[in-house]
Structure 1
Amino acid sequence: MMVTSIDVNLSTREIQVRGMSVPVGSRAFDILAVLMAARGQVVSIEDILRKVWPDTVVEESNIRVQVCALRKALGEDRRLIQNIPGRGYRLTPKSDMPAARTGIPLLAE
């Protein structure tokens, strides 16, 4: 799979795909940040709910809606976010994703 340049800036909460700013909602961005922090490991539905909606009772369908929004924003690279049936979600690991910093590029190899 050829992955285009995606840059995620955690401090400004901004995503750029191929140099263009792509708007996403705050919950969708929070899910992306949680998946990035897991560095390719599967994040359970329960962990996502606890981290993204810490003081609110929501249904799992909320995660699906937000992941759908993220995939739409990523366009051609929507497959970077994988659903692992019965377990949760993960951000497809690239060959050594960069360490967390202000801007985190996800680049094609």
Structure 2
Amino acid sequence: MDEHSQILVPEAFLDLYRSPGRHRLLLPREQVAARHELCEDLAQAMTEHARAMLFGAGLAEDEVLQRCHAGLRSGDAGLAPGEAAWVVHRLAELLEWPQPELPESP
């Protein structure tokens, strides 16, 4: 991503790629922007599935989000643990559901 890019990567996502207390990114900005785009697209795509789980399976919002997080943390999802949590928090935001308490990454 160059300075002319119109993609705005939220600070919360950028923080996934910074050492604690540092401003500098651990990966090139282009790679971070690409990961953000993937995670944002995933959160957007999961909204209908999450609603279906809520109404079809009769689960509470928090349980739906917990299950989504567990699935995203599996090795098959291709996401880092921080990315999985970010996707679930973004999903909750998109659905206008309360933010879940997620387990810490190992």
Pick the TM interval, shorter chain. 0.3 to 0.5
Greater RCO (CA < 8 Å, at least 6 residues apart): 1
Structure with a larger share of its residues in helix: 2
Structure with a larger share of its residues in strand: 1
Provide TM-score, normalisation by structure 2.
Answer: 0.34
Provide TM-score, normalisation by structure 1.
Answer: 0.33
Tell me which structure has the larger Cα radius of gyration.
2
